[in-house]
């Protein structure tokens, strides 16, 4: 999973990552920027260092590997240099599935992460590009994280993963990003006064805050993958859209790649 900041994959795909890791699959989160702009009173190298430590702790709590690339936060552009960094990361991991934001997100870093991963989608197989690392023999399946943006087209939940059993662990892992969930995001969102004081109250508050409401389209996708009876009982889900680049998976391929999808 490739996000722009050291808490993006965590929020958008963390529950799915936990389920993969528990089944013995190797999951890596990559943050394309170092997060050095994501605070109201801290910044620069000191903040980047704090966020790297938070990402490492979150990675442990999720059960995944976590890489933070040293590009400035808030200044990401879809350059050749960063594209090559991403091609290398995908090749080194020999990824079967790559998940990234859609390129119509509100945040330029998210948007350009989406563009950068799209730009890498074909090039990971081209031997003369980044020739020091062998090209992938099989093009991965590329997916998008869920978002609420409507233009030019709304997110389509092609795959819906029931993360209900992983939700508490996901919240506990998100809690590692203290600089974000309890400091920066409340400050920029104008709700700092809502953040509870004690650790236990904070986690409860975070769980309420980070619950994504399952809408009709998401429920329909859950029904497709799990059957209606099971889908009706799902409380928490993460959805993904299939990108038109890379390997185009059939439903059977998706069931192989996402073995947690089981007709109930």
**Interface with Zn ion by CB under 5 A: which residues?**
4-5, 8
Nearer to Zn ion, 67 or 96 (CB): 67
Nearer to Zn ion, 182 or 226 (CB): 182
Q: Give the shortest CB-229-to-Zn ion separation in angstroms.
A: 36
Nearer to Zn ion, 4 or 47 (CB): 4
Nearer to Zn ion, 68 or 124 (CB): 68
Nearer to Zn ion, 1 or 4 (CB): 4
Q: Give the shortest CB-59-to-Zn ion separation in angstroms.
A: 16
Answer positive or negative: Cα dihedral of 24, 212, 100, 186: negative
How far, CA to CA in Å, does 90 sit from each of 2, 87, 99, 114, 150? Answer: 9, 5, 11, 14, 29
Nearer to Zn ion, 58 or 136 (CB): 58
Q: Give the shortest CB-36-to-Zn ion separation in angstroms.
A: 13
Residue nearest to Zn ion (CB): 5
Nearer to Zn ion, 4 or 214 (CB): 4
Q: Give the shortest CB-8-to-Zn ion separation in angstroms.
A: 4
Q: Give the shortest CB-181-to-Zn ion separation in angstroms.
A: 12
Q: Give the shortest CB-60-to-Zn ion separation in angstroms.
A: 21
Q: What's the chain look like in SS3?
A: CEECCCCHHHHHHHHHHHHHHHCCCCCEEEECCCCCCCCCCCCHHHHHHHHHHHHHHHHHHHCCEEEECCCCCCCCCCCHHHHHHHHHHHHHHCCCEEEECCCCCCCHHHHHHHHHHHHHHHHCCCCCCCCCCCCCCCCCEEEEECCCCCCCCCCCCCEEEECHHHHHHHHHHHCCCHHHHHHHHHHHHCCHHHCCCCHHHHHHHHHHHCCCCCCHHHHHHHHHHHCHHHHCCCCCEEEEEEEEEECCCCHHHHHHHCCCCCCC
Q: Give the shortest CB-96-to-Zn ion separation in angstroms.
A: 24
């Amino acid at each position: 999973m490739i996000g722009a900041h050291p808490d993006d994959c965590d929020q958008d795909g963390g529950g799915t990552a936990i389920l993969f890791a528990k089944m013995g699959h190797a999951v890596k989160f990559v943050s394309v920027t170092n997060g050095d702009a994501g605070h109201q009173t801290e910044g620069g190298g000191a903040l980047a260092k704090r966020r790297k430590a938070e990402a490492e702790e979150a990675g442990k709590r999720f059960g995944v590997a976590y890489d933070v690339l040293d590009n400035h936060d808030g200044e990401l552009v879809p350059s050749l240099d960063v594209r090559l960094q991403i091609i290398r990361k995908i090749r080194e991991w020999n990824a079967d599935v790559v998940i990234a934001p859609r390129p119509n997100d509100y945040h330029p870093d998210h948007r350009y992460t989406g563009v950068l991963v799209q730009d890498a989608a074909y090039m990971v197989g081209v031997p003369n590009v980044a020739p020091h690392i062998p090209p992938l023999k099989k093009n991965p399946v590329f997916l998008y994280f869920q978002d609420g943006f409507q233009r030019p087209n709304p997110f389509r939940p092609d795959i819906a993963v029931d993360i209900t059993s992983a939700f508490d662990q996901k919240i506990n892992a998100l809690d590692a990003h203290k600089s974000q969930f309890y400091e920066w995001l409340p400050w920029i969102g104008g709700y700092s006064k809502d953040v509870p004081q004690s650790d236990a109250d904070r986690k409860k508050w975070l769980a309420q805050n980070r619950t994504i409401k399952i809408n009709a389209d998401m429920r329909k996708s859950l029904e497709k993958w799990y059957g209606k009876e099971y889908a009706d009982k799902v409380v928490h889900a993460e959805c993904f859209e299939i990108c038109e680049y890379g390997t185009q998976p059939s439903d059977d391929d998706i069931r192989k790649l996402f073995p947690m999808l089981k007709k109930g």
